[in-house]
Amino acid sequence: MAVNERTHRNTGIRFPGWHRTASPADPGEIAAGASSTRAQVFAGVRLLLGAVFLWAFLDKAFGWGYATPSGKGWVDGGSPTKGFLSGVAAGPMESTFHSWAGAGWVDWSFMLGLLAIGLALVSGIALRAAAVAGTVMMAFMWVAEWPPARHLSDGSPSMSSNPIVDYHVVYAAAMIALAVASAGTTWGFGRIWARLPIVERYRWLR
């Protein structure tokens, strides 16, 4: 009895990845790519955070009608700290903040701090100093809002969403992380800044 043997014919359709083993990627290239991606992510966070500080400065300085009403900006004679500090209603420094509200030295310190931190973050220079200054500023603002309080001094609910970690803590942590990661070298002038003689001598200026 004859047996008809069926032959497998080529259909003419080829899938290159199915019939050959892809060459393994160079571990060095993978590491370099991952490092580059991390650097870009940190740089993106740095720019966004810098924009937050610069916007706060500009709005309070010129009264763009967002957090600061038009015509009540710093350049118009308004105080960028009076409204916030006079409204402090909880915490151990409540009376102290009330006495500071609208004081010239407080206004200047706050506004110059916002401007300097914002410029440092956007440009990528002096991130260590910016992290220290920013953390101090965020600490004062955290104490002013006093998230641990369940009730304000008048007995009304504080509406605090978290007794410890709020956006002030997140901002401070982000600035510290950016400084540690030297995030100014990507999409910034951090590398050029670090080569300056005074910065090479005083490394805390990086």
Q: What is the pLDDT of residue 3?
A: 47
Cα–Cα distance, 113 to 80 (Å, whole number): 12
Q: What is the pLDDT of residue 25?
A: 57
Q: What is the pLDDT of residue 11?
A: 47
Q: What is the pTM of this model?
A: 0.84
Q: What is the pLDDT of residue 158?
A: 95
- Tell me the sheet residues that pair with 157: 151
| Ramachandran area for residue 144 (φ above 0: left; ψ -120 to 50: alpha; else beta) | alpha
- Tell me the sheet residues that pair with 151: 157
Here the tokens at position 47 are 């720019």
Q: Residue 196 in contact with residue 125, Cβ under 8 Å?
A: no
- How far does Cα 117 stand from its chain's mean position? 10
Q: What is the pLDDT of residue 31?
A: 66
Cα–Cα distance, 205 to 50 (Å, whole number): 18
DSSP 60-126: HHHT-SSSS-TT-SGGGT--TTHHHHHT--SSTTHHHHHHHTT-HHHHHHHHHHHHHHHHHHHHT-S
pLDDT digit string (tens) for the chain, length 206 residues: 444 444 445 544 454 444 444 455 566 666 677 789 999 999 999 999 999 999 999 999 999 999 999 999 999 999 999 999 999 999 999 999 999 999 999 999 999 999 999 999 999 999 999 999 999 999 999 999 999 999 999 999 999 999 999 999 999 999 999 999 999 999 999 999 999 999 999 988 99
Neighbours of 28 (CB within 10 A): 8
Q: What is the pLDDT of residue 35?
A: 86
Q: What is the pLDDT of residue 143?
A: 98
